Amino acid sequence: MDETCELGNLQAPVRPQNTSIHELTNEEPNLVPPPIPAQDNEPRSAGHRTWRFWAIIIALSITGLMSAIEGTIITSALPTITNALGGGDTYIWVPNAYLLAQVAILPLAGQASNIMGRRHLLLGAVALFTLGGGLSGGASSMNMLIAARTIQGLGGGCINLLIETIVTDIVPLRERGQYMGIVGIGTIVGATLGPFLGGLITDHASWRWCFYINVPIGVVSFGILFVFLRVKYERDMSWSARFRRIDISGNAIFVAAIVSALIALTWGGTIYSWSTYHIVVPLVLGLVGVLLFAAFEWTPRLCPEPSFPRQIVSNRTSAAALVLTFIHAVVAYWVYYFLPIYFQAIKGLSPLRSGINTLPNVAGGLVFAVLGGVLLSKFGRYKPLHLVGFAVTTVSFGLLSILDANSSDAAWVCIQLLNAVGSGMLGGVLLPAVQAPLDESYVATATGIWSFARYFGCIWGVTIPSAVFNNECSRLASTITNAEIAGNLSGDSAYQHATGAFLLSIEDPALRAEVVKVFTGAMRTVWLVGIAFAALGFLVSFIAKEIKLREELNNNFGVEEQKGVTISRTTDTEAVLSPNPV
């Protein structure tokens, strides 16, 4: 590049006039608006890290810890909660209402953060999340608990999206994987501690503290963010004008589609068989609704300011990276949910012990997620990391399929660590690939779509292996000599019996061995099917093009080092920073 522009004392490269980023990177044209020039007076280099920057990183990590704890804490406490409040089959909506609200709010939250600023929306999300936690703890019925969990999920979805968005705002593209890994430490620690805290609270206190615990953490998180989260945003627009810019119609279509699809995924194989109209109809309506949402968003006459711009998926690199994100979420949750089944249904261990035995995968995933980000920052290449990550994950699924009741501790520890290398490394290097061909003005909306792909993959990562496991157990149950136990493992009920307690309830050692053999055969099929998904990720990795990652920040949402700095709109494609007249 021939020309430079001066940012403070830093000479930052800019591209020549009339030359697009796609011409410089050999990427196909994407018709994105030109990047907004950074005209504030702070250095925008990768090496400039002030105390405000690190205060924001720490605040985001603590906030992620709070949200992650809530995502997993009820896994151990749900039976006790259901027994206390009743509600029958509606218990499944206690976790799923939270997940549904998280997914449904993502496109709206991404667009709203561009219009209203990251700070206000994140503070509001933390307040909403904390309120939902207090209401959940005080619930007097299952319906009230489900409603409170929905409120909490709306806050949690905004929190998770905005944490990732703010990191992309304050860190250059090349370094984002590294800092997402650092911020993600809080999330992974929270997700790991959640089940243990849930069991501990249920055993020694009221189950209500599984929700009340978020109130003090939420207050602390809100206070830290209020003090330290100072980031730039556009201030010279009235709140009424901001609300008029929000894509209400498109998000209404999206929410209806997601609710319909998740109803099918929640009921399928638990309340109704997958082949009944109760499941097929809402699933089809949900998928059609998603297509209708895309058509509405991509019609400028109907939606002039979409929450899902077509430009995000109109180039092969971003589109491929979104598919990889979905596949990675599928295989990650595949292992996350079915490793405990191996330890409980085949090894005969308790839920607490199985949780401890899965720590090599969880802790290893944390380490390699940070390592993947460091490698991306150092070499600036994401495609080799994608290929290596999915290749190693595929091999780990193959090795998981050979585990049985006689496998040594060294075997399952090493296989878990191998999976952690592949899956963990991918965790922090997929979003930068989505953003690489896009202008920085699409950071928030692209992050919202990426988060949706990840959450949607998480849902299928539980649903698909559960269906495979139940079907295989039903097929193999005919080998069990006891008709009652064979019935327990048939008709989509095998998953709920895949526990150490169920095995210990079988007094006859020979009969217990038959049950373990059925579980082992079903688990082998689960892992073999998983190979196909991981291998698909490896193949899709070849589609994306390697694009040079930007090493400078070029957006209007960086760290606000001085009070009174505001962003003024000048044209449709340009914004500048100017002193606040007040």
Q: Where are the domains of the chain?
A: 50-231, 247-304, 309-550
Fold agreement between 50-231 and 309-550: yes
For residue 301, the model assigns a pLDDT of 83
Structure-model confidence comparison of residues 571 and 239, the more confident one: 239
d(CA 430, CA 446) in angstroms, rounded, equals: 12
- Alpha-carbon Rg for the chain in angstroms: 24
Catalogue the long-range contacts made by 499-506 (C-beta closer than 8 Å, 24 or more residues apart).
499/344, 499/345, 499/351, 500/344, 500/345, 500/347, 500/348, 500/349, 500/350, 500/351, 500/354, 501/350, 502/345, 503/345, 503/348, 504/348
| 331 vs 527: CA distance, rounded Å | 10
Interatomic CA distance for residues 354 and 500, integer angstroms: 10
The DSSP element (H or E) to which 14 belongs, if any, is strand 10-14
Mind listing the pLDDT tens digit for each residue in 449-481?
Answer: 888 888 888 878 878 888 888 888 888 888 888
> Are 429 and 376 in contact, with CB atoms under 8 Å apart?
yes
Sequence-distant (6+) residues with CB within 8 A of 126 are: 63, 66, 155, 159, 218, 221, 222, 225
* Residue at token pair 């960086």: 558
In 3-state terms, what secondary structure has residue 194? helix
**Mean pLDDT within 431-457:** 83
pLDDT at 197 over 90: no
Please tell us whether the domain made up of 309-550 is placed in CATH 1.20.1250.20: yes
**Residues 201-225 pLDDT 10s:** 877 778 888 888 888 888 988 988 8
> Would you state the pLDDT for residue 556?
54
What is the reported pLDDT for 328? 94
Span 240-297, pLDDT tens digits: 777 777 878 888 898 899 888 888 877 776 677 777 888 899 989 988 998 998 889 8
How far is Cα of residue 542 from the mean position of the Cα atoms in its chain?
Answer: 23
pTM of the entire predicted model: 0.76
Is residue 518's pLDDT more than 80? yes
What single letter denotes the amino acid at residue 209?
W
Residues 225 and 98: beta-carbon distance below 8 Å? no
218 CB-near residues (< 8 Å, 6+ apart):
66, 126, 127, 129, 130, 133
Residue 494: what pLDDT? Answer: 79
List the structure tokens of 373.
């980000």
- Of 366, 387, 375, whose CA–CA distance to 544 is shortest? 387
Q: How many CB atoms lie within 10 A of CB 489?
A: 25
Round to whole Å and give the CA distance between 574 and 579: 17
Q: Are the C-beta atoms of 386 and 434 separated by less than 8 Å?
A: no
Q: Give the Cα separation of 200 and 271 in Å (integer).
A: 30
Q: Which of 30-44, 283-297, 300-314 has the lowest mean pLDDT?
A: 30-44
**Partners of residue 575 on adjacent β-strands:** 569
**Higher-scoring residue by pLDDT: 21, 422:** 422
Distances from the Cα of 46 to the Cα of 6, 377, 436, angstroms: 15, 10, 16
Burial 384-402 (b: 16+ CB within 10 A, else e): ebbbbbbbbbbbbbebbbe
Q: Which of 343-357, 400-414, 538-552 is predicted most confidently?
A: 400-414
Average pLDDT in the chain:
78
Over range 493-511, report the average pLDDT.
82
**What number of residues does the chain have?**
582
pLDDT tops 70 at residue 2: no
| Residue whose structure tokens are 């489900």 | 146
Which of the four pLDDT bands, split at 50, 70 and 90, describes residue 415? very high
- In the predicted model, what is the mean pLDDT of residues 70-98? 73
Q: What is the pLDDT of residue 322?
A: 94
Would you say residue 581 has pLDDT above 60? no
Sequence letter at residue 36? I
Percent with pLDDT over 70 in the chain: 81
CA angle 549, 393, 472 (to 5 degrees): 140
Considering Cα of 157, then 159, then 162, then 163, what sign does the dihedral take?
Answer: negative
Give the pLDDT score at 466: 82
Q: What angle do CA 299, 447, 34 make, to 5 degrees?
A: 65
Say what the pLDDT of residue 254 is: 87
Cα atoms found within 13 Å of the Cα of residue 106, Cβ hemisphere only: 25
- Output the DSSP codes for 416-484: HHHHHHHHHHHHTTSHHHHHTTS-GGGHHHHHHHHHHHHHHHHHHHHHHHHHHHHHHHHHHGGG-S-HH
DSSP code at position 506: -
Q: What is the mean pLDDT of residues 344-357?
A: 81
Tell me how crowded residue 359 is: count the other CB atoms within 10 A of its CB.
12
Regarding predicted confidence, which is higher, 378 or 567?
378
Amino acid at 174: R
pLDDT higher than 70, residue 142: yes
Question: For position 348, what pLDDT does the model report?
Answer: 86
SS3 575: strand
CATH (residue range 50-231): 1.20.1250.20
